[in-house]
Structure 1
Amino acid sequence: MPNLAPYIAFPGNAKDAFEHYRDVFGGDLQLFTYADMPMEGAPSTLDPASVAHASLTLPGGTIVGGDAMPGEDYPIRGSAYSLMYSLEDPDEARRLIALLVDAGGSVGMPFEPAPWGAYYGQVFDRFGVMWAFDVDAEEPTQA
């Protein structure tokens, strides 16, 4: 079955990030370092402790990623992309937002009723990744 999953290239802290996401969201984490992988044909500058591939399977989706290759400079913090997590319960969204903020993140947009009849908010986690939370409202909110 086809599946689309966001991939995040971290600047050397993928292990910390994926363990943090597992602690916040739960799910099944699989993490492989370059020491765990065959190194034939790989650049000799790779740190064996760097994350070659990580996959976190959550209820409703998967996040994958790893440490960026040496010489790659991908800015993480920004608003050109975000991870949208749609939930059914506003209180669960608030709980997850609080966990991300309490662990060093910051609110980008408060989680509150949105003009389109849902609850919506944004958080930048301590790694710079923007998380958008969306919960359909049972009744449309009045703008």
Structure 2
Amino acid sequence: MTNIKLIPYLTFENTKSALEYYKRVFGVTDVKRQAPTQKQAEEMSLNPDVNLDNLTMNASFRILGKDVYCADSFLGKPVVSSLISLMFEVDLHDSDAASELESLYKRVADSEEVKVIITFEKKSNGNKYGQVVDKYGVTWIFNAVK
């Protein structure tokens, strides 16, 4: 079972706009986005006059070297939920990884486009931990452990 991956997959009402947000606020890279083809639009019974370029069939981006996938919700408006969390965990002994994690947290928190739930700082157990919630309700957890 070592060939099994767990891949974060987010759904948005407007993925095209969400990708711009994540580029600006989180500094995500390697953004890829594919609009539905005319055939896919017909198969999903989309309105014939809809601008397909504004829709996203599938997309992805990279953050701290990890892939996140996403797409538009074609089944109705998605419900914003802070019950969805994505956690980055690094070893504090890996100074490069710990520095990257701290830089990402600082960038995101300083943007004022997220809600800081827990400030990323050293806790009583010696680990560093923090949480933010983005404008789409996704909780991002920053965890640096000994």
Where on the TM-score scale, by shorter chain, does this alignment land: which range? Answer: 0.7 to 0.9
Residue type at the aligned position of 1:99 = R
Partner of 1:93: 101
CA distance in 1, matches of 2:8, 2:39: 22
Q: Is the 8 A contact 1:34 1:47 kept in 2?
A: no
CA distance in 2, matches of 1:5, 1:36: 28
Q: How many equivalent residue pairs?
A: 133
Gaps of 5+ in 1: 138-143
TM (norm. structure 2) is 0.73
Q: State, as a whole percentage, how many aligned pairs show the same letter.
A: 25
User: Cα gap change, 1:103/1:66 in structure 2, threshold over 3 Å: closer, same or farther?
Assistant: farther
Give the root-mean-square deviation of aligned CA atoms. Answer: 2.6
Which residue of 72, 76, 80 corresponds with 1:76?
A: 80
Gaps of 5+ in 2: 91-96
Q: Classify the secondary structure of the residue corresponding to 1:64.
A: strand
CA distance in 2, matches of 1:36, 1:3: 31
Q: Classify the secondary structure of the residue corresponding to 2:104.
A: helix
CA deviations 1:44-81 (Å, max 9, x no partner) are: 2465111111111344421111111142x432241x22
Q: Is the 8 A contact 1:31 1:54 kept in 2?
A: yes
TM (norm. structure 1) is 0.75
CA distance in 2, matches of 1:52, 1:103: 30
Q: Is the 8 A contact 1:5 1:61 kept in 2?
A: no
Q: Which has the higher helix share?
A: 2
CA deviations 1:113-133 (Å, max 9, x no partner) are: 234442111011233221001
Q: Classify the secondary structure of the residue corresponding to 2:131.
A: strand
Matched, 1:19 2:23: no
Alignment of 1:21-60 (within 5 A): 21-23=22-24, 24-35=26-37, 38-45=40-47, 48=52, 49-60=54-65
Q: Classify the secondary structure of the residue corresponding to 1:63.
A: strand
CA distance in 1, matches of 2:86, 2:39: 28
CA distance in 2, matches of 1:77, 1:39: 27
Which residue of 122, 125, 143 corresponds with 1:134?
A: 143
User: Cα gap change, 1:54/1:83 in structure 2, threshold over 3 Å: closer, same or farther?
Assistant: same
Deviation at 1:136, TM superposition (A): 2.1
Partner of 1:125: 134
